[in-house]
Structure 1
């Protein structure tokens, strides 16, 4: 979406929020909580950047996802004093709701890099500044952590301002990932739009009967609401099966309906993504599942709301549903349309669902039944699955593609040891080597210790320190 249209949409939202166009009404939140990984890494990055810009009239800031200013670094006393006068300072909230259109407010609302110059600010008291801001997402979860904001005088050259902010935000996310114990970053959202034929990635009918009561209750509640024509939001962690609940519920409530799934893409692709599926809302026998609407830019949420209302006027009702992490994270224009909220617990709280999903995933990978040893079942059901059912499906498909009987040696090392807060690179290498040795059929702890070159007692101590507990023997 062109920057000018984004700024216009932000001005319209600012007016709707009742923001003063003349003066900043400060919103003081009190003491800043500065113990997050995002804050620690962001401060380190901005401190290093400031060392190269010490003679420049710029202010470097971090904000939380709600626009609260967490810190501010500048060597220019006059700029700091001026920013104090407009309350762009630590402890003050500066989102669109509080300050109208600003660089940081727009970056957080649209989840996109944003540059707001002089008169583009909604509030006239900010016309003397140019602000560039870039959102920072947690590289593991995709959750919005906050923003990096660089502010300078409007009379200064700002050609490189946004590039500097993007570099700082990228370095912050990279540092967060480096300190996350070597875990794999979340894939970037692709924003696919696809038709669901049957139950995509869902357990088959016979497997569904084996699922947990939590799953069955979620499907039942969702189906009841959809049958009554009420839009539903299924909330919970990513990968937990929220879209699958909606697909199964739609099949139950509206057996002949055509189901489209539209997963929110990177903010730069949202405009084209909307054009792919929004016209489908007006078709009475088509249902649309919009996934991860909590990642939508604010302008897109307003366009989606308008499209839903138009479709409802022409078709009598637009059949749609959505998924999100939490209802408060759903953009207000869409939250206002949601009639029913269904909470789906994460997979670690639905242990009974692990093996039904695993067996289905293995069957999809090999197109026939695949066996699991008791040791493999124990490892799968004992794992915390931070990536939920989506992670389980990836792991099992990879294992089933190599064997007719899945055993522990076919599973990745991190599945075979309980999750810890953070492992150093050396600890991760040590853990993987121990697990590889223990996973070989017929290997005892003593044999694995001898192979690695340590004593049996040392092996047990290291297993305890690294949280490794691997059942021995192919049958568990």
Structure 2
């Protein structure tokens, strides 16, 4: 097919395929030999595909799910001829169909652009796939918003594809809904629409906790970013969601002595990327302005290409050399997840430690968030302090800020009873809504002033053995007033 006749998204994918060094005549998908069948995504995707198979029982359609890296996890198909044909091109569990492995295809494009994708016949980059039409839709984890994987429907290229993409989108939506129902039962609130970026003035009031004495893990990371910025290097801060990557970059920039604005551009929904770029891109390269683009690993591939072009132009305009501060920085969960077009522009990678590896930072940060929310009058009881410092904080600083603000909204003296049940829970299993209600009620009773397990059991109408069993099941640990664990 003449690449000039391709739609813009497909043309960009073909260009990336050439950049990866792939041959249109030869396809070699990577084989891992094993797939993760224990994940919530696999469990829910499998159930949705089995239900869809009943709907498409007489159709020559192969249905599959793949993880966020493009690895095919599961395939469902009742048509023997298309199954044998897909086996010959290795579109089967254990093989990777990411764009970088096999070029433009529906599954890989849906993951690269984080958007529903339809690739017909000769729109595929590799000739071996041009006998098929593939429709795929990404599945987002409803609890975290992270890319969980994709649902892919493949049929013969001569077959009608009008409804194929709609079916893939419906299956992806059903998978996400089932993950929500079988997960914690609570959806992470989406970011407010319209909050595209945040502006920090040169005083950085938002990050004044940086003046406190924090752990070596944090201060060493800040020092690395500060040194790199002072030498005119572009910094990528990597780490878990909510660990404080943007805060670290802004703190480091402030410590260089530069008086500047800091624009923190947050990743938008895939459909809003064009407007997102147009809104803040004019600020890039302005005097005394630094742009931090958060979550570049979550950008559609075409947007990363446009962003790299903008960054490269701004860097050339700013110039090179000691003391020449670059006009941008980026954040991502892992360096390996940063798009290939952006990684050559990055000079220094700084890993931001997760909060569970910085237990000495928990109380200083908690006091900072309480002070910012209510003022210096808010304090923590010793039991509340022990509960906060003994928790793992899987959502990192973002979760700590939410917990402290909610508690500080209720009282000036934060005790264990003002903290949510999640802080006292160590179980990693997924709970139903009913189990969450039961767990929260047990924690509420156990954190009442002067309570004992026996009193909590009586209040709940349970025997002591039953409440101990449920505490073990939910991983509940409530520090007592003497510094131990309630029992």
Contact 1:444 1:472 (C-alpha < 8 Å) held by counterparts: no
Q: Describe the SS at the equivalent of 2:407.
A: helix
Q: CA deviation at 1:473?
A: 5.2
Which of 285, 309, 315 is 2:288 aligned to?
285
Q: Are residues 368 and 89 of structure 1, via their aligned partners in 2, closer, same or farther at CA, if it must alter by over 3 Å?
A: same
Partners of 1:243 and 1:18 in 2: how far apart?
34
**Normalised by the size of structure 2, how large is the TM-score?**
0.91
Q: Describe the SS at the equivalent of 2:284.
A: helix
Within-5 A mapping of 1:188-267:
192-197=196-201, 198-199=203-204, 201-204=206-209, 208-267=211-270
Q: Confirm or deny that 1:404 pairs with 2:412.
A: yes
Correspondence for 2:392? 384
Q: Describe the SS at the equivalent of 1:149.
A: strand
After the TM superposition, which parts of structure 1 deviate over 6 Å for at least 4 consecutive aligned residues?
none
Partners of 1:51 and 1:435 in 2: how far apart?
44
Q: CA deviation at 1:461?
A: 4.1
Contact 1:233 1:342 (C-alpha < 8 Å) held by counterparts: yes
Q: CA deviation at 1:408?
A: 1.3
Correspondence for 1:329? 337
Q: CA deviation at 1:221?
A: 0.9
Correspondence for 2:165? 162
**Could you give the per-residue CA deviations for residues 360-418 of structure 1, whole angstroms, max 9, x where no partner exists?**
11111113431111111111111111111001101111111111111111111111233
Partners of 1:240 and 1:381 in 2: how far apart?
16
Q: CA deviation at 1:92?
A: 2.5
Contact 2:181 2:432 (C-alpha < 8 Å) held by counterparts: no
Correspondence for 2:425? 417
Within-5 A mapping of 1:418-433:
418-433=426-441
Partners of 2:472 and 2:152 in 1: how far apart?
44
Q: Are residues 410 and 100 of structure 1, via their aligned partners in 2, closer, same or farther at CA, if it must alter by over 3 Å?
A: same
Contact 2:49 2:171 (C-alpha < 8 Å) held by counterparts: yes
Partners of 2:449 and 2:96 in 1: how far apart?
58
Q: Are residues 409 and 74 of structure 1, via their aligned partners in 2, closer, same or farther at CA, if it must alter by over 3 Å?
A: same
Correspondence for 2:21? 18
Q: Confirm or deny that 1:130 pairs with 2:133.
A: yes
Moved more, 383-392 or 427-436: 427-436
Q: Describe the SS at the equivalent of 2:207.
A: coil
Q: Are residues 87 and 188 of structure 1, via their aligned partners in 2, closer, same or farther at CA, if it must alter by over 3 Å?
A: farther
Partners of 2:221 and 2:319 in 1: how far apart?
27
Correspondence for 2:3? none
Q: Are residues 399 and 32 of structure 1, via their aligned partners in 2, closer, same or farther at CA, if it must alter by over 3 Å?
A: closer
Partners of 2:83 and 2:192 in 1: how far apart?
38
Q: Are residues 354 and 300 of structure 1, via their aligned partners in 2, closer, same or farther at CA, if it must alter by over 3 Å?
A: same
Partners of 1:199 and 1:326 in 2: how far apart?
26
Contact 2:386 2:483 (C-alpha < 8 Å) held by counterparts: no
Within-5 A mapping of 1:15-414:
15-182=18-185, 184-185=187-188, 187=190, 192-197=196-201, 198-199=203-204, 201-204=206-209, 208-316=211-319, 318-414=326-422
Partners of 2:284 and 2:366 in 1: how far apart?
34
Partners of 1:173 and 1:84 in 2: how far apart?
28
Moved more, 119-128 or 418-427: 418-427
Aligned length: 472
Moved more, 454-463 or 275-284: 454-463
Which of 425, 448, 452 is 2:456 aligned to?
448
Q: Are residues 93 and 453 of structure 1, via their aligned partners in 2, closer, same or farther at CA, if it must alter by over 3 Å?
A: closer
**Unpaired runs of 5+ in structure 1?**
none
Q: Are residues 105 and 466 of structure 1, via their aligned partners in 2, closer, same or farther at CA, if it must alter by over 3 Å?
A: closer
Q: CA deviation at 1:180?
A: 2.4
Contact 2:200 2:206 (C-alpha < 8 Å) held by counterparts: no
Partners of 1:77 and 1:458 in 2: how far apart?
53
Partners of 1:399 and 1:474 in 2: how far apart?
22
Please, what is the CA RMSD of the aligned residues?
Answer: 2.3
